[in-house]
Amino acid sequence: MSAEKGYVGLGEVGEMEESIGLNLKATELRLGLPGSESPVKSTSLGAKRGFSDAIDGKWVLSGNGKAGSDLALGKDASLFSPPSDNTNNDPLPLPQPSKPIPAPAAKAQVVGWPPIRSFRKNSMATQPPQKNEADAEPKPGCLYVKVSMDGAPYLRKMDLNNYASYRDLSSALEKMFSCFTLGQCGSHGVSSRDNSSESKLRDLLHSSEYVLTYEDKDGDWMLVGDVPWEMFTDSCKRLRIMKSSEAIGLAPRAMEKCRSRN
Amino acid sequence: MNYFPDEVIEHIFEYVGSHRDRNALSLVCRSWYRIERCTREKVFIGNCYSITPERLIQRFPSLKSLTLKGKPHFADFSLVPHGWGGFVYPWIEALAKGKVALEELRLKRMVVSDESLELLSRAFPNFKSLVLVSCEEFTTDGLAAIAANCKWLRELDLQENEVDDHKGQWLSCFPDSCTSLVSLNFACLKGEINTGVLERLVARSPNLKSLRLNRSVPLDALQRILARAPQLVDLGVGSLVHDPAMETFAKLMTTMNKCKSITSLSGFLEVTPRCLTAMYPILPKLTSLNLSYAAGIPGSDLIKLIRHCKKLQRLWIMDSIGDKGLGVVANTCKELQELRVFPSDNIGQHAAVTEKGLVAISMGCPKLHSLLYFCHQMTNAALITVAKNCPNFIRFRLAILDATKPDPDTNQPLDEGFGAIVQSCRRLRRLSLSGQLTDKVFLYIGMYAEQLEMLSIAFAGESDKGMLYVLNGCKKLRKLEIRDCPFGNTALLTDVGKYETMRSLWMSSCEVTVGACKVLAMKMPRLNVEIFNENEPADCEPDDVQKVEKMYLYRTLAGKRKDAPEYVWTL
């Protein structure tokens, strides 16, 4: 059946391709003869080269010698121009690249894949890369800050990105530090089922004995809760559950600072 | 047999809106056909070449709303060469001649000239609503005509069109007397607009519910506009870039707080992530969020945003959110029904999505029924899990960026995974495949996908059997589009009658020859079989044994079309 013979498969990989550093198998276009080889591993030769990454610019591969089909990737060419006649039953000979394949720097891809509307594609093309204005470092997926509590023997670390609001943060702190306030410290840390210690801590935190503060990007110690949550996570570098006696004078500075910065 | 007078039946038919139901009604008996056709106001034509406008107007004299689709779906991905067709002008001309009281026109993938917009704006005094999706060839001059002449315009909705922006003052063409606007979407326009004019337009449009701006509208203008339209339900922010005057930003936050009705948010074509805090007041009420064009929002900010969107039903987002971010979506958006994850340009970055993100979504969002997912890899195990968790899929479209990638864990094709999807999701209507696939997946599809109406295949299959499984098994198949698969003449010609039960078939870079297409065209006179010969000179008759680059066939009552370009041969 012509269907089985007609395709110029990239299934055959010879030493020549491997020595050039080109792994045709990595292109994974399994359009060759059925059952002709084992499933293609995409991780041979180390680099995981995806279908599109492996095709760079114009590849000119000759097919069975007779038809000499060109596999050119241009604007309007499809991936395969099957040979007009393919009468031989032999497995296709090694496709020979006619020029050395450069490392896949540019991402010249198959026409129409991935299937994204051209409007969207063009729109993305004119987009500037993600703006990193004031924050020069790329935003990490997690935002770990040290948390200390006055009088506790050691500090903790927490990921601010796990919380969406001050309330979440506050309950997480309650869980984390409840063992310290009552001198109970199991070897496995805080027991979240121990409601009494948590509520005691909550009372402590909400009473005037302790105050939750944070150090911001400028190194100043601020009272937690004045600014919108996102602004807080943006500028918070560490947290400190501070004894009230030490916290005098913090609150007014926070709002002033917010105003002057913005 | 009618036991009721016509008027009663007419009245009953008024309650029947959907096209399918209406079509069914018209088949019951002659008098129902007659009554139905005289009372039908909305018509949907899935292929503009399947029927002539004259015939349409003859059958439905009460026509008020027309939806037309032009080019084949793969035109979206640059597979259909320029000039193929889908011109709307002859339709508008015919409707005008036929004195149709047109009120609404919705076009998708059609060629819309300024001339046609001009004619449209003048020929129908009651015209109210224009929706253009993925259309091309018009400019802001055409929009100016619509603005100027459509006295009762309620809706001007432009989605993802290629518009030539002449930087004219098309917005100014809305007369002062125009106060009827309900929906205005010009997000796809590239040029500047006069924000003062826009503000005044918004101010005199008390019914305005949907407003989507383009990137030229800055933050301060956005604030002023929103202040005049607190009743908005759907907002598309053009640009939200840091304004040095923080007062404006604070004003915007106050204004956002007053917009209590916004449930749909989109845009952010240009954005400073820090400014997103202004949107936080409306996030908890959102049911629809489209950030698929917001390339300027890094994944971490996307995640922060999503945590507030507990009511989301529809989410369009970029893969910069990452698998972890999708986990957050799964935990937060329990009402999610539709998810689309688009590839950002950062191919290769670790933040892109894999099968893990999809599995997380399937576990957290039981109501999910529509999916478009661009990812770097997929596994059979993941698909099987997703199929188990979400048996309600209606649309399932998977696009692995590496089109023929096998399951990276087992190196197997993804046949079993997709097989699980079709077996579990009995209501599946639309399916797009990718990854390494053999004929087996088509065996599964033919066996289980009983409701399947649209199937998109690329770089898959091993032999004609694959295509035959689908043609034989999927009784409700309407659209089949295939590219770069080893399906040939046997598959094409085994059941030619099938194609009259379908809207269309697209095959490109397959094994089909010119000769086979000729045979098909001869056997089936009510199909238009078009082959595209881009590389041959126009006068050169292709050899029968030559393989066809691109073939598009569709059923039609209109016969061979007269507007085909040179490279299209209708056999």
ipTM: 0.89
The answer, for A154 touching chain B at a CB cutoff of 8 Å, is no
Residue among B77, B160, B303, B354 with most chain A CBs within 10 A, to mutate: B77
Task: Please report residues of A whose CB lies closer than 8 A to that of B299.
Answer: 139, 141
Residue A150, pLDDT score: 84
Residue in A2, A27, A117 nearest the CB of B488: A2
Test the A interface: residue of B71, B73, B74, B78 with most A CBs within 10 Å = B78
Q: How confident is the model at residue A200 (pLDDT cuts 50, 70, 90)?
A: low
Tokens read off for B35: 């009554």
- Kindly give the parts of chain B with pLDDT less than 70: 1-2, 168, 243-245, 346-351, 536-540
Model pLDDT, residue A170: 83
pLDDT for residue A258 is more than 60: no
pLDDT of amino acid A165: 80
- Asked if B160 lies within 8 A of A119 by C-beta distance, the reply is yes
Looking at per-residue pLDDT, the higher value among A174 and B346 belongs to A174
- Does the beta carbon of B352 lie under 8 angstroms from any beta carbon of chain A? no
Give which of B241, B309, B402 to mutate to test A binding, by max A Cβ within 10 Å. B402
Q: Report pLDDT for B365.
A: 96
State both tokens at B496: 């030619």
pLDDT surpasses 80 at A3 = no
What is residue B503's predicted lDDT score, i.e. its pLDDT? 96
CB-based contact B262:B235 (threshold 8 Å):
yes
Q: How many CB pairs under 8 A join A and B?
A: 190
Q: Which residues contact B238 (CB under 8 A, 6 or more apart)?
A: B187, B213, B214, B215, B216, B217, B218, B222, B267, B269, B270
- In this complex, do A52 and B403 lie within 8 Å of one another by their Cβ atoms? yes
* pLDDT at A176 > cutoff 50: yes
Q: Are A60 and A97 in contact (CB under 8 A)?
A: yes
Helix (H) or strand (E) holding B478: none
Residues within 8 A of B (CB atoms), A 111-130 only: 111-120, 123-124, 127-130
Q: Is the Cβ pair A39, B406 closer than 8 Å? A: yes
Percent pLDDT > 70 in chain A is 34
- Is the pLDDT at A167 greater than 70? The verdict is yes
Question: Could you say which residues from 449 to 468 on chain B have a Cβ atom under 8 Å away from some Cβ of chain A?
Answer: 456, 458-459, 462-464
Give the C-alpha separation, B116 to B136, whole Å. Answer: 12
Query: Predicted confidence band at A179 (pLDDT cuts at 50, 70, 90)?
Result: low
Distance of CA B195 to the CA centre of its chain: 30
Residue B46 exposed, middle or buried by CB count within 10 Å (0-12, 13-18, 19+) = middle
Please report which confidence band the pLDDT of residue A201 belongs to, taking 50, 70 and 90 as the band edges.
low
Task: Check B77 against A31: CB less than 8 A apart.
Answer: no
Give the closest-approach CA distance of A209 to chain B in angstroms: 32
The shortest CB-CB distance from A117 to any of B160, B276, B303 is to: B160
pLDDT at A153: 81
Q: Which of residues 157-216 of A touch B (CB under 8 A)?
A: 161, 164
Q: Please give the Cα distance from B499 to B50 (Å, whole number).
A: 13
Residue A155 has what pLDDT?
84
Q: How confident is the model at residue A152 (pLDDT cuts 50, 70, 90)?
A: confident
The 10 Å CB-count burial string (b at 16+, else e) for A140-152 is ebebebebebeeb
pLDDT number for residue A44:
37
In chain B, what is the straight-line distance between the N-terminal and C-terminal CA atoms, in Å? 44
Inter-chain touch A4–B463, beta carbons under 8 Å: yes
Q: Does A40 touch chain B (CB under 8 A)?
A: yes
> Quick check: A141 and B300 CB within 8 A?
yes
For residue range B543-558, list pLDDT tens digits in order. Answer: 888 899 999 999 999 9
Interface of A with B in 74-113 (CB under 8 A): 76, 78-82, 84-85, 107, 110-113
Dihedral (CA of B318, B324, B329, B330) sign: positive
A256 falls in which pLDDT band (50, 70, 90)? low
Q: Are strands B210-212 and B183-185 parallel, antiparallel or unpaired?
A: parallel
Q: Which of residues 55-74 of A touch B (CB under 8 A)?
A: none
Position A231 scores a pLDDT of 83
Listed by number, the residues of chain B in 502-521 with a beta carbon closer than 8 Å to a beta carbon of chain A are 508-509, 511, 513
Angle between helices B30-39 and B6-13 in degrees, nearest 10: 60
Query: A256 phi and psi, to 5 degrees?
Result: -60, -45
